[in-house]
Amino acid sequence: MISYEDFEKVDVRVGEIIEVEDFPEARKPAYKLTIDFGPEIGIKKSSAQITKHYTKKELVGRQVLGVVNFAPKQIGPFISEALTLGLPDGEEGVVPIVPTEDVPKGGKMF
């Protein structure tokens, strides 16, 4: 088990997807996302395996939750700066975790 203090170290914020690119080098189908996490955090890049349910066009402007305080991670030729959070759909796909209402960019999960 982890303590509440451990949980508090994970910085989960809401961001708005501002750009989506194909990621053909990924082992599993994925997009390269550019996400605006607001003025405090700024813009970060992330790779997300959410191609099954969303086109690139559908994702632009959509809000997602992401962990913004992990160290950058090399994913093939791409450096991911944030972890976009998602859940399995039960059929090999991933559904991103999104707010049900529009909230300010950079809002911290608690």
> What would the mean pLDDT of 68-72 be, rounded to a whole number?
97
Domain membership of residue 68 (yes or no) is yes
Answer whether residue 104 is part of any domain.
no
CATH of the domain at 20: 2.40.50.140
Residue 92: the pLDDT is 86
Domain assignment of residue 46, yes or no? yes
Is 39 within the bounds of a domain? yes
Q: How many domains does the chain have?
A: 1
Q: What is the pTM of this model?
A: 0.95
4 within some domain = no
Tell me which long-range contacts 27-31 makes (C-beta under 8 A, separation of at least 24).
27/76, 31/56, 31/59
pLDDT at 89 over 90: yes
Asked whether residue 108 is domain-assigned, the answer is no
Name the helix (H) or strand (E) containing 8.
helix 4-8
Greater pLDDT, 31 or 92: 31
Sole residue written with tokens 């989960």 = 12
pLDDT tier, 88 (very low <50, low <70, confident <90, very high otherwise): very high
Structure confidence at residue 67 (pLDDT):
98
Domain presence at residue 6: no
Residue 110: the pLDDT is 87
Domain extent at residue 76: 11-89
